[in-house]
Amino acid sequence: MKKLFEISLLFFLSVSLCSCPYSSAYNLDETPTIYVEDALLGKWTGLVKKPGSNHEDQVYLKLDRKTDTEYNISFSGNIDELRPYKRITSDSLTGTAFMSTINENQFLNIRINSRVYIAQLIMRDNKLSLLPLAEHFTAKMIFNSQALRNCVDIHYKTRVHPTLDDEFCLRDMVKTN
């Protein structure tokens, strides 16, 4: 019985540890240098598939200008999956973000509750996608922004498909305003 409990616990931990977006204390760049893109500003809506089901929920993203190089960012909708991570207390999640570019790939450094989440940003055919890196995209210890930047650079150069956290990907969002 004890062995069955241990195996079940290990399985649960391996699944739960692999199902959250990569977070860090560091940004890809020390300071923001890329100007805010007006085309990104506004309210966006997209669908997120609920884990373990075929049901999709609407999620709303709002991007506002904070400074010339930073955004205020807000996610809202039925995002109960984030409650166990203690990242939200209501139905919204707010923070700040700024853009970084690595080898023609654009990324948002999204700061929420003193943690930074790295998400690839793709704007194509007036649709916006935010694709966060998975927690296990690298096994290296990150001690500064340059190390994080190097890990992301190597990851995108050496993978056919980057390791994304599919449960938190916001694909093909459309502008609602």
Q: How many residues does the chain have?
A: 177
Q: Tell me what pLDDT residue 107 has.
A: 97
- Predicted TM-score (pTM) of this structure: 0.80
Q: Which band of pLDDT confidence, cut at 50, 70 and 90, is reported for residue 16?
A: very low
Q: Tell me what pLDDT residue 53 has.
A: 74
From the list 164, 62, 65, the residue with the least C-alpha distance to 105 is 164
**pLDDT tens across 47-74, in order?**
887 777 777 888 999 999 999 999 999 9
**CATH superfamily of the 2-175 domain:** Quinohemoprotein amine dehydrogenase alpha subunit, domain 2 (2.40.128.120)
- The label of the residue with tokens 């999956």 reads 81
* Token pair for 36: 């805010």
